[in-house]
């Protein structure tokens, strides 16, 4: 069985006979999504060499805040829409979800801007630009849910690639002319706007068909899915936020330099799990679920070995000699690569079974562990302490998800 399964997974990457639609979509979406972290890593590398670890840390902080605001404005529909649209393509649901996300994004943008003005400091202008991009990011979430739900991801992939081309070309030009972090953040909003335009669903969003009844139905399900999304984002971003509060921006820069490589590698199991999600919800989904967990485990082992062995030369090559401290962070995170890969598949499996409340409970416990360990370890160990906290919380999350799946 192991030999046959390994051969089957090789076909996922190789395109041999048996390379099915799900595998092709996985590769397509993976290439598009990997372009984002790769562009970010390239821009961070240039920032590190031209402006130092402090600006790398500021850019990483802006990215973390943007991810949290985007997740909150999504109202958790990133999980809900693919599931519902996989069952039945419904333009009324799509339009209603888009209006709800846009309103949420606008409210969060105002709150974030007010917070930035009141807090002041070197990050204030950057956070204001992040706030301005939040409503645009909110509209992108229902679009993504639509293309994933109907299992036609090539249009979505093309839009994501166009966004990253804008970021890359524009970022290179800006940095070559001495621009700083604020300009790069503004460019992120422009790229996201282009992606929204390119991924516009067929027939557009029929806003006149927005249904109060559909909105009420979404409102009943949003708390759990929004809680899931919010806890998920907090789980993965709290380390950067706490590092910026308890340490220096330079220390944030060392952590972000390694973490961005870790998150870029993690996109492979993430994309594979997301493509399998609609199929898990249909008849015979249990077999697909088991295959997904085994595949992601294999992926995680390979990626963890690559990241661990190549940590020091990779950090030197990307960011320069001054970022050797980031190599220690990446070595620790590489151990978590296996855990994170399996954890992604386990979470998707619970959502596919309609057990998102259990997924939320597990993530809440893991997040509490992450926050507590970060508060304990960051003051004395900085970026390395944050990496250890991430690894420990991943152990908690994988154990909790495994227990929940066995019980359900």
Q: What is the pLDDT of residue 13?
A: 39
41-50, 68-77, 211-220, 383-392, range with the lowest pLDDT: 211-220
Stretch 74-90: mean pLDDT:
73
Q: Where would I find the H helices in 281-323?
A: 285-309, 311-319
Number of Cβ within 10 Å of residue 344's Cβ equals: 25
Stretch 231-238: mean pLDDT:
82
Mean pLDDT for the chain overall: 81
CA dihedral (179, 182, 183, 187) positive or negative? positive
Alpha carbon distance 382, 385 (integer Å)? 5
Domains of the chain, residue spans: 2-407
Report pLDDT digits (tens) over 86-127. Answer: 666 777 777 788 888 888 899 999 999 999 998 887 788 999
Distance of CA 312 to the CA centre of its chain: 25
Kindly tell me if the per-residue pLDDT of 254 is higher than 90.
Answer: yes
Q: What is the pLDDT of residue 203?
A: 64
Kindly tell me if the per-residue pLDDT of 190 is higher than 90.
Answer: yes
Which of 196, 270, 199, 222 has its CA nearest to residue 74? 222
Stretch 283-302: mean pLDDT:
70
Q: What is the pLDDT of residue 25?
A: 67
CA 173-141-158 angle, 5° bins = 50
């Amino acid at each position: 069985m192991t030999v046959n399964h390994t051969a089957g997974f090789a076909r996922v990457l190789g395109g041999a006979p048996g390379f099915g639609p799900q595998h092709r979509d996985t590769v397509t979406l993976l290439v598009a999504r990997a372009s984002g972290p790769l562009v970010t890593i390239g821009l961070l590398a240039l920032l590190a060499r031209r402006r130092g670890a402090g600006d790398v840390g500021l850019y990483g902080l802006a990215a973390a805040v943007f991810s949290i605001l985007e997740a909150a404005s999504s109202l958790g529909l990133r999980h809900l829409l693919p599931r519902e649209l996989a069952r039945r393509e419904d333009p009324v649901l799509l339009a209603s979800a888009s209006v709800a996300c846009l309103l949420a994004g606008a409210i969060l943008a105002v709150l974030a801007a007010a917070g930035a003005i009141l807090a002041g400091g070197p990050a204030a202008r950057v956070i204001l630009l992040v706030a301005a991009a939040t409503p645009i990011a909110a509209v992108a979430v229902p679009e993504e849910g639509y293309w994933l739900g109907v299992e036609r991801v090539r249009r979505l992939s093309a839009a994501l690639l166009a966004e990253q081309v804008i970021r890359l070309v524009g970022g290179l030009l800006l940095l070559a002319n001495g621009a700083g972090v604020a300009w790069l953040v503004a460019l992120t909003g422009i790229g996201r706007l282009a992606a929204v335009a390119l991924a516009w669903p067929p027939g557009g969003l029929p806003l006149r068909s927005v249904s109060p009844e559909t909105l009420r139905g979404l409102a009943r399900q949003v708390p759990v899915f929004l809680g899931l999304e919010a806890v998920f984002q907090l789980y993965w971003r709290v380390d950067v936020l706490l590092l910026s509060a308890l340490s220096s921006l330079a220390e944030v820069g060392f952590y972000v330099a390694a973490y961005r490589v870790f998150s870029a590698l993690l996109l492979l199991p993430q994309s594979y799990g997301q493509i399998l999600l609609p199929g898990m919800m249909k008849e015979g989904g249990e077999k697909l679920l088991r295959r997904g967990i085994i595949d992601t485990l294999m992926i995680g082992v390979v990626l963890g070995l690559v990241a661990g062995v190549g940590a020091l030369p990779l950090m030197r090559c990307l960011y320069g000699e001054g970022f050797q401290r980031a190599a220690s962070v990446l070595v620790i995170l590489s151990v978590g690569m296996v855990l994170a890969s399996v954890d992604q598949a386990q979470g998707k499996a619970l959502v596919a079974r309609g057990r998102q409340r259990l997924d939320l409970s597990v993530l809440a416990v893991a997040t509490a562990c992450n926050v507590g360990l970060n508060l304990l370890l960051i003051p004395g160990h900085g970026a390395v302490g944050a990496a250890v906290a991430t690894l420990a919380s991943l152990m908690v999350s994988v154990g909790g998800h495994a227990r929940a799946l066995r019980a359900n």
